Every structure is written in C-alpha cells, then in structure tokens.
Amino acid sequence: MPESSTQQVLDVRAGLAHALGAAQTALDAARQRHLAAVERRNRVAAAAETQKIRLAVERDTRLRDIDHQHHDDLAALAGAAADAGHRGAPGAAGDPWPGWTPTPADAGSELRVGRLLLPYDGEVPALVPLLDRGHVLVRGDAAAGDDVVAGLLLRVLGTVPAGTLRLTGYDPEQLGGGLAGFAALATAGVLTFVGPGGLGALLDELVDHVRRINETVLAGEHQSVRELAAATGRRPEPWRLSVLLGGGRGDELSRHEREQLDRLLRTGAACGVHLLLRGIGVDPPAGVEVIDAARGGAARLSGCGDLPVHLDEGPPAALVTATSRRIADQVAAGPGPVALDSLLPAEEWSESSAAGLSAPLGDGPQGAPVTVTLSDYPPHALIAGPSGTGKTNLIYAWIGALAARYSPAELAFYLLDFKEGVSFARFAPGRRDPSWLPHVRLVGVNVNTDREFGLALLRFLGAELRRRADAAKRHEVTNLAELRAEDPDGHWPRIVAVVDEFQVLLAGRDALAGEAVDLLEDLARRGRSQGIHLVLASQDVSGIEALWGRPALVAQFSLRIALPRARRILAETNPAAEALPRFHAVVNADSGAVEANRVVRVPAAGDRDRWGALQHRLWRRRPGELSAPRLFDGDAVPRLADSPDYADLTPAAVVPAPVVLLGETIDVAARSARTVLRRAPGRNLAVLGTRVDEACAVLGTAARSLAAQYRAGAARFSVACLDPDAAAAVDALRPDLPTTAGWYGPDSVGWLLDDAAGAAAADIPADRPHFLILYAVDAAPGGARTAELLRTILRQGPERRIHVLGWWRGAALLRETLGGQGSRTDAIGAWVALDVHGSELAPYYPGAGAPVWYPRPWRALHFDRSVHRGAEVIIPYGAS
C-alpha cells in the first residue's frame, strides 16, 4: 500500500517533470516563433516603408512629368492658338498699327481687336468675325469702344479691294464726329452719313436691299452671297457695312426700327449686309459678336468666354486719314479688271457658228456674264471710247472669248489698225514668239498712212461676199446657216473684220474714200446673211461722225459698245457712258436706245502672259493645213527674198514674157507688183523721182527678178551707173546678175547706147533679150545725140527684144528724153513714181486727168498702161 503511494508519488512527479519539460519545450518553440514573427513583422514594416518611399518618389517624379507635359502642352496650344490667330487675321486684318498698310486679300479674315489673356500668362490675338460672318455690338467704356470701332473700320477697309465695301455712318450724338477720320471716303461715295432722323429710313433701305439680294441674286440657288462668290469666282454686290453709333439709350428706338434692326441682325450677313453697333441697346441674337469694352485687360468678347481681353489702342489719326484718302483715290480711279480666264469656256472649240457668234464680254452688275452676239441681228458693231479707256483691251477680250469657243473652221478674223502701233501684231507670228491665233487670217498694223490697205481689205471682203452669194444661189438658200446645212463639206466660217480707227479710211473726199464707203455700205447691208460681220472702232468723236450723214450705213451697225466718256455712239438721249468707271462698257444691241443698255465689266485681256497662255494653247491645236496669217506692217520694209512671187521664179532658156517685179502691193495677199516685158511697143519701165535709195531698190528688184528667170547666157544684161550716189547699190547688184553682164559708167555708156540703138533699128530682132538697166538716165553725157539714141531704143527696142529699165530723176526729165512737150509718151508702157506729185504724171496717165498721188516715204505709185485702169500704190523691196 505504502509502496503504491510512493510509486504513485513518483509517477506523479515523473509525469509532472515530463509535463514541465514538454511545457518548457513548447514555450521555447513559442518563443522562437514569436521571435520569427517579430522579425518578419520588422522586415514587412521595413519593406513597406521602403515601398512607401519609392512610391512617393515615383509619385513626385510623375507629378513633375505631368507638370512639365502640361506646361509644354499649354505652350504648344498657346503657340498654335497664336499661329491660328495670325493666320485668321493676316496682313491688314491683324498687323499692329506701326507699319500697318492695306493688304486686300481674303475678305473672310477675322479682325483683331486686342490680345486674349490666357490663364498661364500667355496671350493670343483676340479676333472677331465680320464680313460674310455676322455683326458686331460694342458695349461698355465709351472711349475704349470708340477705339474698337475705329480699329475695326480701318482693318475691314484694308482687307477688301477698294470699292467693294460701302459704309454708312449714323452718329446722332457727335453728328458724324465719331467717324471724322474716315470723312475722305465720302468724296468717293464709299462713306455716306445719315442724319439724326434718318435711322428708320436707313434700316428700311437695308432691309429692302436684303430682300432684293435674296430675290434676284441668290434666287434660291445659293444660301449666301459668300457661297455664290465661291461658286462663280465673282462677287455680284459690294459689302454694305452700317456703323450705328448711339447714346446708349436703346429704348429710344421705335418699334418699327427695332423690328427692322432685328431682321437685319438675323438675315443681313448672308446677303453681305453687316452692322457695327455701339451705344444701341439691343438683345443680340446668335451670330452677333459682343465686345464689352474696358481698359487694362478687363474687356470681354462673347466668342471667348470669360477670358480677359486687353484691347488694342485705336489706330493713329494720321493713319486713318491717309488710308481713307488712298482708298478714295483708288475708288475714284475705278475698280480693276477681272482676269481674262473669266471669259473662257469649260470646253474650247465646242460651239457652232452656223446661226451666229455669241460670247461673254465680261460680267454685269449682278455678276452674271454679259453675252454679246453677232448674227443676222445684230450683224455689225460700233465701238467707241477716248484714248486710255480700254478700247484695245475690250477688242482683245472679245476676240479671246470668241476664239476660245469657235474653231478656225467656224470663225476667221481680219484685223486692221489704222493708228500708229502694233496692237494686233501679237496675233501674228513674230521674232520672239512664233505662235499666232489660228483664227486670224490677216493682221494690218501701222497703216495710218496706207489707206489703200483698208480699201484692199474691203475689196477682198466684197469678193468673198460675192463668192458666198453665188454659192447660196447655186444651193437655193438665203443665208449662211442654210448654206452650211446644204453644203456641209464646204468651208464657210463666219468672218469678223475688225477695223480700229476706221475713220482714217473715210477721211477726205477722194476716190478712195468714196469707194470705201460704197464697199462698206454693201458689206454692211448684205454681209449679215452671208456671215460677214464688221466691227468698226474709234477713239474719238470724229470716228463716229465720219459715219453720220450716211444713214443707210449707220443703221446696219445696231450693236453699239460705248466705253467711258464715249460720245455720239449711243442715242442722243442716252448718257450712260458718261459716268462709267474704268474697265467698264455699255453694250447696247438696239442702236443705242436707253432701254437696251447693259453695263459690263471687261476683263484684263491685254496681259501678255495670260493672253500668251491662251494663244499658245489654241495654236498647238491648230489644223495642220492652216497657214500663218498675213502680216502687213506699214512701218516695215518688205524684202524681195521673202516674196513668194520671187521664190517661184525659175531659170529657163526661153522666156516668152519675162516678168519684172517692182515691190510689194498694198493688198490682202502678199503679192508683188509686176510688169511684163512682152515683145511689143512700149514695153519699157521708167522709175521717176529723186529719192536715190528707193529708185535703186526698184531697179535692183527689177534686175534681180529678170536674172532669176534666165539660164546663163539666155539673156543679156547691161547696167549703166550715171549717178555716183547709186554706185553702192549697183555694186550690190553685181553678184545677182550673170557674170557676162556689162557694166558701164558715164565715159562708156555711149558705146552701150550706140550698140542698143543699132540693134533696135535692125530689121530682125536680137537673138536673145537685152535688158538695159540705166541708173540716172538723165545724167547721160552726149546731149542731143544721146537723147536721140535713147528715143530709138525706147520706141523700137521692145519689138526687137530690147527693153529699157531706167531711172529718171524727174517726170519732166523723162519728157525731155522723149522729145519735149507735145511728144508722145507711149514708149513708156509702165512707170513707178516716187517723190513725184500726181499732177506731174498727167502726160503718162490715160485720159485728161492725173492720178491722185501725194508722195510718201518708201511708197511708190505704179502704173502699167497694158493692164491697169488706175495706178496702184506699192512698197519698194528693201535690202535682203
């Protein structure tokens, strides 16, 4: 029992010891885990602190990056905004006042009024829209508002072409003083002032203007004048800008005035009517820019939210005055022309001229093209305008518009300018530009002293009229349209003959003027049906008066075109041309009646670059068989080497009727005047006059043309020079004559005359032709015996194939050679007179009269009794 207790105690003690050991072990393990947990906690806390620091650094770095990016973005946006502001208001619309100048360009530009202050110390131009955009209402500080109004007015004037803006000023408080700096514009009609009681009438007139634009200009086809201008390239109406300066008491407006003002604020901008209001109390609708004027950056623009605006100072008074005067001068001078391209069709050479010729001459007041027609009615045109009013430019524009629409198969031009100058020369090939207008068949320039060329043109047109009339009879038709339908393979273009300064042709009471009038009347009366149209132009009243007194002729010219200040071309009661601005014309297709007036703005067709582009384009399209036009220049001396007749001469062993060329005829065709030296009495040539150069030119041409027809040895040439002044011309002739030619001087010419007189008196003709080319025959020594030898040669030589081509230094000296007064002159069958008056030529001219001839430099009168009814004027050929 006791053992059991002891044992139990031991067991208990052993159990307790074991439990204690286990507890100690558990405690030690717990302590270890605690230490590990504390260590982990410390590590986590340290890591968390490290992460917190890193995140803070990253946060700070990112925030700095964001701040930098934000700053850069704001700077970029500010720069872009500034660039956009400058682009939106270029030149006069946005330049600062120092150095400011008008720069008409884009009327759609916005206008600078100051600087928009950005929150981050940046600024951009503060702009407001006006023309074609809306209206502007200025409120707030009166002085600042005055500066804003003056600046806007000056900028808008500087951004549009002079004359395209009409200003109206209403200033009842200062009685116009608020716009005094712009007063110079009133003299040119750009600025109109309205009195204190005129607001209602002004608003009524503007509302009526808007109504008219909607009904007649836009006509439902376009939403605004700006859209119309973009579509057509033309602005039909000037802008209307009304500046309404009140005293700030809007309740003083009547109900009607308020209603009209509201209508304009809603609908005016689309029709080019704009309002600039200051001191007029209105509730602005959408589209009205409101400026709350204040100094020192406290201003606001409705289009810029709540951003402050630093308004610009007003423009200097001297700048306003000078600019207004300059614009007034430009307006008084008239608007500039539009470009030639505005007359050109979308597709060139696509129209038929069978029924007539129609083309725009320019645009009318509403912007629509004004078309001019030549047909059976109206058939012909008169153009008049003083020097400097654009007559030549108008003719260019008309020619260009027609040439672009009708091909050379449909239209042919014959152009003649009687005034000194070469205005039509551009249509023919030249030294610098080989192109020509394919429709032009003839160009005559510098013909103020060559009325014969105008007569030659009328004769040519008369012959063409007869040819067409004969063709119409064969086909049993009455007009060109029917003829073309019946003869589609024929060449029947409409012909337009333009004669500038035509009165020169009709000047005087001589036979030439009489024949010219008869031909004009016939062409004007009958040409309409055969497609021949005349356009006569003159720069002063004398040109038109040349036709007055010839009602049958004037009545045919029912199309009248009057340039500024043209007189007597329209009806006596029609003063429309007196107030025309530059580059404008009155087109009237009813003989000048007032109700037929159409005002047209003529493009700038004289610009060489634009015209050259058109002409080259058409020239490259010309048909291959088309030849260059004939160019007659009255100031140019023709060359024998350029003569087609001379080029056609070929040498032969036998020439039954040798041709002597003398000079160029004043004719439509570039032909040479000629005399044929047949084996018949009188077939000699005399050149009469004292002008050595011209006499030598005629004899040299005659000799060279004869030499070109004979083979070597087939003809005999003998040249005698009896005047030392002709020696150089004779020496220049040597290379062009056969080497067997004989050359004689005063000491040896007697032998030549003895030999030729003997052969002339012989019973049989010479074995070959013998041509005696004698310079200054009257200077031959030998007296009476020499004269007798010459008479024998002249009278009997041609039948023996001996011909004299001689120069006598006066008509009386030739008469002495022939035997004196009372002697026969038929030994001289052909003659060329230089500085010899017509009365001196009576003995050598058929009938009892004398030719009408007044000597002119480098012109000669040619007569051949075997072919001519009357003498012809020729131009001697110059040195080749």
Q: What is the mean pLDDT of residues 679-693?
A: 96
Q: Which of 233-237, 630-634, 761-765, 770-774 has the lowest mean pLDDT?
A: 233-237
If pLDDT is split at 50, 70 and 90, which confidence band does 337 have? Answer: low
Among 550, 555, 503, smallest CA distance to 379 is for 555
Token readout for 606 is 């004289």
CA–chain centroid gap for 15, Å, is 132
Q: Which of 201-205, 312-316, 388-392, 709-713 has the lowest mean pLDDT?
A: 388-392
Q: Which residue has the higher pLDDT, 235 or 595?
A: 595
CA–chain centroid gap for 181, Å, is 38
Q: What is d(CA 227, CA 863) in angstroms, rounded to the nearest whole number?
A: 69
What pLDDT is attached to residue 283?
Answer: 81
Among 158, 151, 161, 162, smallest CA distance to 102 is for 158
Q: Which of 232-236, 526-530, 670-674, 719-723 has the lowest mean pLDDT?
A: 232-236
Cα angle 340, 344, 346 (rounded to 5 degrees) comes to: 145
Beta strand residue intervals within 228-331, DSSP E: 239-245, 273-278, 288-293, 300-301, 309-311
What pLDDT is attached to residue 304?
Answer: 81
Query: Across the chain, which distance is largest between two alpha carbons, in Å?
Result: 213
Encoded amino acid at 644, one letter: P
Residue range 45-58, pLDDT digits in tens: 888 888 888 888 88
Q: Around 93, how many Cα atoms within 13 Å sit in the side-chain half-sphere?
A: 23
Please say if the pLDDT value at position 486 is more than 70.
yes
Cα angle 575, 581, 586 (rounded to 5 degrees) comes to: 50
Q: What is d(CA 644, CA 648) in angstroms, rounded to the nearest whole number?
A: 6
CB atoms within 10 A of CB 842: 14
Q: What is d(CA 768, CA 753) in angstroms, rounded to the nearest whole number?
A: 17
Among 692, 638, 691, 646, smallest CA distance to 664 is for 638
Q: What is d(CA 755, CA 772) in angstroms, rounded to the nearest whole number?
A: 11
The answer to whether the beta carbons of residues 311 and 295 sit under 8 Å apart is yes
What is the rounded (10 degree) CA torsion for 720, 725, 726, 729? 140
Q: What is d(CA 266, CA 285) in angstroms, rounded to the nearest whole number?
A: 7
Q: Is 59 helix (H, G, I), strand (E, B) or coil?
A: helix
What pLDDT is attached to residue 681?
Answer: 94
Q: What is the mean pLDDT of residues 841-851?
A: 87
Buried-exposed string 23-49: b where 16+ CB fall within 10 A, e elsewhere: eeeeeeeeeeeeeeeeeeeeeeeeeee
Instruction: Give φ, ψ of 621 to 5 degrees.
Output: -95, 0
> What pTM did the predictor assign?
0.71
Q: Is 760 helix (H, G, I), strand (E, B) or coil?
A: helix
CB atoms within 10 A of CB 89: 23
Counting residues of the chain whose pLDDT is more than 90, the rounded percentage is 53
Report in angstroms the alpha-carbon separations of 34 from 20, 23, 26, 37, 46. Answer: 20, 16, 12, 5, 18
If pLDDT is split at 50, 70 and 90, which confidence band does 605 have? Answer: confident
How buried is residue 192: exposed, middle or buried, by Cβ count under 10 Å (0-12/13-18/19+)?
middle
Question: Does residue 477 come out as left (phi exceeding 0), alpha (psi in the -120 to 50 range) or beta?
Answer: beta
What number of residues does the chain have? 880
Q: How do 860-864 and 872-876 pair as beta strands?
A: antiparallel
Please say if the pLDDT value at position 666 is more than 70.
yes
Report DSSP letters for 393-433, one per residue. Answer: HHHHHHHHHHHHHS-TTTEEEEEEE-SSS-TTGGGS--SS-
Among 716, 768, 766, smallest CA distance to 737 is for 716
Instruction: Give φ, ψ of 112 to 5 degrees.
Output: -80, 135
What pLDDT is attached to residue 363?
Answer: 86
CB atoms within 10 A of CB 606: 18
Report in angstroms the alpha-carbon separations of 466 from 471, 472, 523, 527, 666. Answer: 9, 10, 10, 10, 22
Among 231, 262, 245, 268, smallest CA distance to 130 is for 268
CA–chain centroid gap for 76, Å, is 47
Q: Please name the residues in contact with 828: beta carbons below 8 A apart, sequence gap of 6 or more.
A: 682, 684, 685, 686, 794, 814, 818, 844
Q: Is 828 helix (H, G, I), strand (E, B) or coil?
A: coil
Q: Which of 86-100, 597-611, 724-738 has the lowest mean pLDDT?
A: 86-100
Among 300, 304, 286, 315, smallest CA distance to 81 is for 304
The residues pairing with 676 across neighbouring beta strands, listed in sequence order, are 659
Encoded amino acid at 139, one letter: R
The answer to whether the beta carbons of residues 560 and 568 sit under 8 Å apart is no
Residue range 546-566, pLDDT digits in tens: 666 677 778 889 999 999 988
Residue range 64-82, pLDDT digits in tens: 877 777 666 555 555 555 5
Q: What is d(CA 180, CA 694) in angstroms, rounded to the nearest whole number?
A: 71
Buried-exposed string 198-227: b where 16+ CB fall within 10 A, e elsewhere: ebeebbebbbebbeebeeebbeeebeebbe
Mean pLDDT of the chain: 88
Beta strand residue intervals within 542-624, DSSP E: 559-562, 584-588, 597-601
Q: What is the 3-state secondary structure (H, E, C) of 71-125?
A: HHHHHHHHHHHHHHHHHHCCHHHCCCCCCCCCCCCCCCCCEEEEEEECCCCCEEE
Q: What is d(CA 635, CA 420) in angstroms, rounded to the nearest whole number?
A: 9
Q: Around 79, how many Cα atoms within 13 Å sit in the side-chain half-sphere?
A: 5
The residues pairing with 444 across neighbouring beta strands, listed in sequence order, are 416, 632
Q: Around 738, how many Cα atoms within 13 Å sit in the side-chain half-sphere?
A: 19
How buried is residue 536: exposed, middle or buried, by Cβ count under 10 Å (0-12/13-18/19+)?
buried
Among 94, 96, 105, 164, smallest CA distance to 128 is for 94
If pLDDT is split at 50, 70 and 90, which confidence band does 29 have? Answer: confident
Among 586, 610, 613, 614, smallest CA distance to 599 is for 586
Q: What is d(CA 215, CA 209) in angstroms, rounded to the nearest whole number?
A: 10
Please say if the pLDDT value at position 338 is more than 80.
no
Residue range 811-836, pLDDT digits in tens: 999 999 999 888 999 999 999 999 99
Q: Which residue has the higher pLDDT, 746 or 538?
A: 746
Residue where the block lists tokens 């008491």: 249
Q: How do 742-744 and 659-665 pair as beta strands?
A: unpaired
Orientation of helix 608-620 relative to helix 391-405, angle to 10°? 30
Q: Choose from 15-29, 213-227, 392-406, 425-439 the range with maximum mean pLDDT.
A: 392-406
The residues pairing with 874 across neighbouring beta strands, listed in sequence order, are 665, 860
Instruction: Give φ, ψ of 442 to 5 degrees.
Output: -150, 135
What pLDDT is attached to residue 271?
Answer: 92
If pLDDT is split at 50, 70 and 90, which confidence band does 21 have? Answer: confident
How far separated are the first and last CA of the chain, in Å rounded?
Answer: 175
Please say if the pLDDT value at position 423 is more than 90.
no
The answer to whether the beta carbons of residues 614 and 429 sit under 8 Å apart is no
Among 754, 640, 630, 750, smallest CA distance to 699 is for 640
What pLDDT is attached to residue 644?
Answer: 93
Encoded amino acid at 454, one letter: G
Among 332, 359, 860, smallest CA distance to 605 is for 359
